[in-house]
Amino acid sequence: MKPDLILASSSASRQMLMRNAGLAFSAQPADIDERAIDAELEKQGATPDRIAVELAKAKALAVSALNPEAIVLGCDQTMSLGDRIYHKSKDMAEAHANLMCLSGKTHRLNCGAALARNGEIIWDVVTIADMTVRHLDAAFVHRHLERVGPNVLSSVGAYQLEGEGIQLFTAINGDYFTILGLPLLPLLTELRELGLIDG
């Protein structure tokens, strides 16, 4: 019998991507202090891509400890511009400030994923997307945020590419799944190798 696949997340977009790909799974959010892990890694000088994969591993291991026989998928995403790592905006004012910081620049989304079984990491990956934001007018950003509403606070970049957020960009280098927070293509390859899905 194939082991169960558990997504260590409550993310609606990750669940949608996995369902759309035909994966059978359950979702069980990891009970970890992401910000504490994040802060410690930043203090150690970890790169944004390493932080993404270490958080993904922490989530996978936390849920694997409760479900040792299952294959557990942990995911996390960081956003960086130069040396600065961005986190989800606390409120709409911070979302506005963050979008203005991104104006006219190319930032990076680092998407980490890890699979755990029996309390051990058996696979991990990081995929990257480079996102170029057009030059933004402060008044436009204010109107944009009023239109899209507080849902943007659930996204690290204060935008949702699958909606009106696409209007903020001039160029994207990277795949759609990375941007939505799940490196789906390498994940499917690994699940085939593990015999969890038909290959």
Residues catalogued as catalytic = 76
Q: Which of 31, 32, 30, 54 is nearest to 41 (CA)?
A: 54
Q: What is the 3-state secondary structure (H, E, C) of the chain?
A: CCCCEEECCCCHHHHHHHHHCCCCCEECCCCCCHHHHHHHHHHCCCCHHHHHHHHHHHHHHHHHHHCCCCEEEEEEEEEEECCEEECCCCCHHHHHHHHHHHCCCEEEEEEEEEEEECCEEEEEEEEEEEEEECCCCHHHHHHHHHHHHHHHHHCCCCCCCCCHHHHHEEEEECCHHHHCCCCHHHHHHHHHHCCCCCC
Q: 184 forms bridges with which residues in the sheet?
A: none
At residue 116, φ and ψ (nearest 5 deg) are -125, 150
